[in-house]
């Protein structure tokens, strides 16, 4: 026989286990994220006592708001309609304090948080069957509206005799929470949350692993069980620096004499990309895990890890999980923070000591030196590459050849503005520039002024200009003002003027190396060294053929 007074197949409102309504209104409001509900429902479904092999999480959104559903093939929930000896369904529907009130709880459950969060909705629907029990259908209309008016919601339960039905539980929460009507969550958002803040992202070893699938707005994905960033890592006992991955792997426990069972596990890395670390992926910094479930981040700097949290390597390159089962009862009702208690203080002190030991270790000091060593190695490789190029047969050289004189190699074909300056000064020293006068007076360079101050006279018929301002460029594409006015810096000397890619319109003059550019009402003079008489570009091979040995 069923436990409902009405005939089988009919429904009846039932009283639920309850405590003060105002208390639970306040506790429920403490939840920080709408997906906290899914976290708790998934924890309930994944507990050892339920024994589910398959769990399905579904999400959609309609005019009633966000709709969440969790289905598992576990043991189901029995209903006894008794406050003295409640069944699993009685406890789920109740607004009581669960194990605080002396009731036995499952592996992850705590204060019946999953069902309490479900009450912050427009409607809750439950289907469940426990072995050798009827199939129960439950409907709770406007539970949050009732609580908001200090009324106890009245679940309506329908009982069906179906002895052949498998055991299962399906919980559907419609309009959670009622006041939220923002854009729907994406598949990526929900999967990221599930993998890093719920039972799906379990941080410990587990024998019985259920298959977890997620359906979001019609898109379905299978979630691989376990904390994603830890998969495939063989954590050491202690610390291990992997030079090739530029990563310090961590798996440490408190010093001997510390009785609190805590484990710090994860890694610090200089290459966040190889682990897909990003704050939006909920996988950076220090994360608290209790009973294997990662719940929320802790501040690294708050726990004394000043070097790790800033630039060595910085929180965005850190993925550490502190596993502390003993702190399970010291989380607040939303499980998004720790309460103030003696146990919490002890935990903080132990964790601070562990992080201090980590930052004081030889392995961490070596890890900090990796970027410097990498930079030095990169410089060495760059130096070797530069040497190889400059020694190659195909290296091009700037050559000046005056009338009746042997070829003079000035330097390699310039790669930058500084090398153009060097060529200018060498030509100046050889008196090989095609100007009546070019006398360098100063090289302000990057100080914000011009590149060169020059006593300049273009030809003997031109006006001598004292302290003329010159801009120097490698390849001239456009007039770079750098905040300068064309009237102040009207002259440019460059290595070459490429045939393509120019943004400035160049006008030819009677001199093949001189061009003009109109900028506002001013005329800019551009002199190209490569086009000057006596200048050529020859490779090492070509120079050798001409008898010039480098």
d(CA 270, CA 421): 38
Taken in order of first residue, the domains within the chain and their CATH numbers are 11-226 (3.30.565.10), 229-367 (3.30.230), 396-537 (no CATH)
Count of H helices and E strands in the chain?
11, 25
Please report the pLDDT score of residue 102 as a whole number: 44
Please report the pLDDT score of residue 511 as a whole number: 95
Nearest C-alpha neighbor of 193 from the set 46, 59, 332? 59
Nearest C-alpha neighbor of 249 from the set 326, 171, 174, 319? 319
d(CA 218, CA 237): 44
Please report the pLDDT score of residue 148 as a whole number: 85
Cβ-proximal residues to 538 (8 Å cutoff; 6+ apart), any chain: 396, 397, 399, 407, 546
Tokens linked to 306 = 């000043």
Please report the pLDDT score of residue 92 as a whole number: 87
Contact between 515 and 509 under an 8 Å Cβ cutoff? The reply is yes
Element (H, E) at 495: strand 491-496
Nearest C-alpha neighbor of 412 from the set 474, 499, 497? 474
Tokens linked to 357 = 């030991």
**Residue pLDDT, tens place only, 381-394:** 888 888 998 999 99
d(CA 203, CA 225): 10
Please report the pLDDT score of residue 101 as a whole number: 42
Please report the pLDDT score of residue 345 as a whole number: 92
Contact between 172 and 68 under an 8 Å Cβ cutoff? The reply is yes
Tell me the CA distances in angstroms from 236 to 183, 225, 242, 253, 498, one per residue in order.
43, 21, 11, 12, 58
Residue with tokens 């979001």: 216
Contact between 128 and 74 under an 8 Å Cβ cutoff? The reply is no
290-318: string of b/e by CB count within 10 Å (b at 16+)? bbbbbbbbbebeebbbebbbeebbbbebb
Mean pLDDT by 10 residues, the chain (550 residues): 53 63 68 85 93 97 95 94 85 65 64 78 95 93 90 90 84 92 92 96 94 96 97 95 96 83 96 96 96 94 92 96 90 77 92 95 96 82 87 93 88 94 96 96 77 94 93 84 70 90 85 89 91 95 87
Please report the pLDDT score of residue 275 as a whole number: 96
Tell me the CA distances in angstroms from 86 to 79, 80, 102, 531, one per residue in order.
7, 6, 11, 96
């Amino acid at each position: 026989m069923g436990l409902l007074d009405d005939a089988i197949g009919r429904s009846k409102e039932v009283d639920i286990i309850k405590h003060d309504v105002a208390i639970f209104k306040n506790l429920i409001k403490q939840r920080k994220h709408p997906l906290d509900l899914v976290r708790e429902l998934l924890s309930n479904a994944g507990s050892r006592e339920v024994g589910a092999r398959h769990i399905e999480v579904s999400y959609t959104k309609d005019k009633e708001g966000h709709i969440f559903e969790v289905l598992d093939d576990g043991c189901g929930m029995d209903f006894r309609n008794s406050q003295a000896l409640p069944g699993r369904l009685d406890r789920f529907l109740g607004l009581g304090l669960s194990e605080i009130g002396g009731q036995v709880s499952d592996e992850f459950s705590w204060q019946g948080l999953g069902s309490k969060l479900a009450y912050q909705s427009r409607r809750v629907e439950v289907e469940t069957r426990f072995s050798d029990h009827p199939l129960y259908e439950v409907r709770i209309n406007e539970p949050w509206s009732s609580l908001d008016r200090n009324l106890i919601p009245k679940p309506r339960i329908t009982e069906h005799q179906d002895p052949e039905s498998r055991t299962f539980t399906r919980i559907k929460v419609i309009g959670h929470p009622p006041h939220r009507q923002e854009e729907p969550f994406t598949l990526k958002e929900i999967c990221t949350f599930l993998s890093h803040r719920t039972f799906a992202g379990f941080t410990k070893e587990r024998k019985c692993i259920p298959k977890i699938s997620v359906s979001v707005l019609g898109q379905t994905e299978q979630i691989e069980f376990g904390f994603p960033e830890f998969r495939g890592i063989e954590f050491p006992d202690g610390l291990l620096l992997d030079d090739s991955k530029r990563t310090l792997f961590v798996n440490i426990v408190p010093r001997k004499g510390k009785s609190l069972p805590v484990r710090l596990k994860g890694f610090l890395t200089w290459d966040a990309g190889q682990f897909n670390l990003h704050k939006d992926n909920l996988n950076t910094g220090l994360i608290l895990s209790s009973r294997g479930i990662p719940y929320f981040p802790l501040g690294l700097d708050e726990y004394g890890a000043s070097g790790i949290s800033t630039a060595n390597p910085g929180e965005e390159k850190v993925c550490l999980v502190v596993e502390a089962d003993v702190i399970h009862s010291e989380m607040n009702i939303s499980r998004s923070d720790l309460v103030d208690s003696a146990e919490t203080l002890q935990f903080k002190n132990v964790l601070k000591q562990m992080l201090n030991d980590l930052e004081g270790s030889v392995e961490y000091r070596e890890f900090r030196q990796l970027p410097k060593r990498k930079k030095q190695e990169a410089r060495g490789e760059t130096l070797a590459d530069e040497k190889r190029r400059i020694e190659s047969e195909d290296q091009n050289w700037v050559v000046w050849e005056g009338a009746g004189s042997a070829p003079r190699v000035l330097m390699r074909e310039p790669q930058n503005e500084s090398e153009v300056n060097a060529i200018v000064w060498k030509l100046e020293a050889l008196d090989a520039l095609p100007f009546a006068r070019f006398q360098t007076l100063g090289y302000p360079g990057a100080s914000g002024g011009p590149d060169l101050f020059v006593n300049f006279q273009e030809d003997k018929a031109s006006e001598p200009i004292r302290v003329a301002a010159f801009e120097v460029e490698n390849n001239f594409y456009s007039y770079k003002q750098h905040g300068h006015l064309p009237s102040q810096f009207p002259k440019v000397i460059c290595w070459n003027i490429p045939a393509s890619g120019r943004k400035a319109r160049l006008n030819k003059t009677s001199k093949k190396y001189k061009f003009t550019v109109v900028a506002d009402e001013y005329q800019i003079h551009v002199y190209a060294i490569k086009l000057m008489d006596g200048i050529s570009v020859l490779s090492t091979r070509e120079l050798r053929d001409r008898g010039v040995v480098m």
